[in-house]
Structure 1
Amino acid sequence: MEVKCENTRQKEDGGLGWGKSIPVPSVQEMVRKDHHTVPKRYIQEYENRPLIDSLTPISYEIPVIDFSLLAKRDKDEQKKLDSACKEWGFFQIINHGVGEELIERMKDREAACFDLPLEVKNKYAMGENDLQGYGQAFVVSEEQKLDWADLFFLMAYPPQYRNFKNWPLIVPSFRETVEEYSTEICRVSKEILANLSLLMKMKEDSLKEMHKVMRLGMRMNYYPLCSKPELVLGIGPHSDSSSITILLQDDDITGLQIHHQEQWVPVKPLPGAFVVNVGDALQIWSNGVYKSVEHRAVTNARKARMSIAMFLMADDDAEIGPLDTMLCDNGQALYKRIKYIDYIRRFMDRKLEGKIIDSLKLQGQ
């Protein structure tokens, strides 16, 4: 089902106007040349390292939601969704209707992008004041610790936001595959938003309308193997600035961990499933009822890992703030109101670390 989005356009210079990131060397290329050495700048401070004893001793598994039942507005499945967003901020969805062939083709096209020679990938590097393209994001100083990862960040949906100068169109059928995949993810996102709108005591198209334009930013991640994975992080602890994020993981490598009950919980991939998480925008709209939870990615010494995150984002001019239906019993709002573009700029203008949503809490909260 095609999701219609309002017409809008890119900034005149082709950039998003969200911020920039300092260029850094390719980790993939570094490991190709020397897979034994871990440079000092990638070694995390001791308290941030993914130590085995920091993982929960209990075998937690995040909730699994049957998407086909949500599509039928099944009350029991909606209750599970509500509980997952309140208690975990994460869940996996099955029976989502995105074809296995398309998923495997998207994974294959991602792998082909990272297999390109470095000099070719550099042709798609992030611009001076843009975060679209190849590189590493959230690098704001020459001193900060770096993630053990490379990435492509592309605006995938709607079509008028695409900036093809940053797309590795040299990869056969890449554009067509991303177009098909992003259309499907937009369909899935719309259905999740509809169910969340009903749970938030609104009409089912309310959250969609609050986005003004439903946009999907796609981050393709490549985490090279690391000889000392206990010293580095693929990506540090953070929450997402999106309303929701839909993640496609490798089926056979566990790399995602979420912070739950003061412990780090590994998210074991469920073949064919997507991992969905609450973003900061939804936490603000829900007045803190739904939680955007810190998560991170770890590496391993055995093989490289890839993933594809699709961030559902509101239009720059959309406003995020607590909804009337979600106010506290005393009618109290916990967060300030802010334009989404202003929140994005706050989010991007810093090292990806922790949650900046707390800076929007009203005094006394």
Structure 2
Amino acid sequence: MEIKGVPIIDLQDPCGLTEKLVKACGEWGCFRLVNHGIPLELMSETKVVCRSLLDLPLEIKQGNCPPGPDQRYTPPNFASPYFEGLNIRDMTSPGALLDFLCQLNASPQQREIILKYSQALFDLAKDVGGKIMEGLGLARLEIFKDWPCRFQMNKYNYGPESVGSTGAIMHSDPGFLTILQDDELVNGLEVVNKFTGELVSVDPIPGTLVVNIGDVAQVWSNGRFCNVTHRVQCYQPTIRISIALFVLGPRNAKVEAPLELVDSDHPRLYNPFDFEEYRNLRTSTKSPTGGALELFRAARTK
């Protein structure tokens, strides 16, 4: 089953599952998961909590965090005037997520919901990552062990004047993969078909999750996977909420393709690099769609 080209994958259907995941990562760099195992009630409760936290007064959301790439609150800006977000740079760091929620004066119930949901997303990411490894013929290891993961809550403040405008500019995600709970009532996510260059609307389906493949996965897969380029558009004048987990890159190792994915038919495409170095280069070279990867392109030998 497909929705305007973007694959829909049933995580509970074992028939060719790992092959379907690898194919989706290579052809689209994006797919929608059904039967992913996260309770619908928890997803609904999390959306309510995120909306309430994003509706807090500006001084509480900003706190005493200085501006910068790791700031916890992203205000509307010139590039994305309708978007604002709250995020924790690394939810896998002990106590970081709880500290973040305490700084927002989240209630005990709100903390419990966010902690439970963020862990469920992380467990799902590890499961999907393991199945992708199987699909590539690799031993199923804990691929994301000790990798930092960014947990983010997004709010798009759309009004009548914003219909047809861009809520989030065209970009690829810098990390390995993103698991997104998009707004089941408000459409807006669009991805680029890498074969035609056309923008395809990823229409929401209640109770499902979207997975986007990022720059790190393109390098790690030695070019087998596509770092999907995408944006968020305003289709209707109403608030849109989304929640995302970004699995970034290895903390204490280089980003590089495993030896099993490099051979005479598939020479190494990228030189190994440090994820933080790459993330900084994306910013300094103004390369939101992954163009900075070319700086690490391996030299071709005849």
TM-score by length of 1: 0.74
Matches within 5 A, 1:1-365: 60-69=4-13, 74-123=14-63, 126-129=65-68, 131-136=70-75, 145-155=79-89, 157-160=91-94, 162=96, 166-167=100-101, 168-172=103-107, 173-205=109-141, 208-209=142-143, 211-229=144-162, 232-260=165-193, 261-327=196-262, 329-349=264-284, 351=286, 353-355=288-290, 356-363=292-299
2:206 alignment partner AA: P
Partner Cα separation in structure 2 for residue 152 and residue 349 of structure 1: 23
**Cα gap change, 1:340 to 1:353, in 2 (>3 Å):** closer
Flag as ranges the 4+ runs of structure 1 deviating above 6 A: none
The runs of 5 or more residues in structure 2 that have no matched partner are none
**Cα gap change, 1:170 to 1:350, in 2 (>3 Å):** farther
Deviation at 1:352, TM superposition (A): 6.4
Alpha-carbon contact 1:250-1:306 (below 8 Å) kept: yes
Structure (1 or 2) with the larger CA radius of gyration: 1
SS in structure 2 opposite 1:236? strand
SS in structure 2 opposite 1:282? helix
Partner Cα separation in structure 1 for residue 216 and residue 95 of structure 2: 20
1:77 alignment partner AA: L
Identity of aligned residues (%): 25
Deviates more, 1:112-121 or 1:281-290: 112-121
Deviation at 1:235, TM superposition (A): 0.9
| Partner deviation per Cα, 1:58-94 (whole Å, 9 max, x = no partner) | x71411111123xxxx351222112111111100111
Deviation at 1:277, TM superposition (A): 1.3
The runs of 5 or more residues in structure 1 that have no matched partner are 1-58
Partner Cα separation in structure 1 for residue 241 and residue 287 of structure 2: 19
Deviation at 1:219, TM superposition (A): 1.5
Partner Cα separation in structure 2 for residue 298 and residue 329 of structure 1: 42
2:173 alignment partner AA: D
Partner Cα separation in structure 2 for residue 313 and residue 145 of structure 1: 23
TM-score by length of 2: 0.88
Alpha-carbon contact 1:244-1:312 (below 8 Å) kept: yes
**Would you say how many aligned residue pairs link Structure 1 and Structure 2?**
294
**Cα gap change, 1:170 to 1:214, in 2 (>3 Å):** same
**Cα gap change, 1:309 to 1:66, in 2 (>3 Å):** same
Partner Cα separation in structure 1 for residue 223 and residue 95 of structure 2: 30
Partner Cα separation in structure 2 for residue 156 and residue 182 of structure 1: 11
Deviation at 1:351, TM superposition (A): 4.6
Alpha-carbon contact 1:156-1:178 (below 8 Å) kept: no
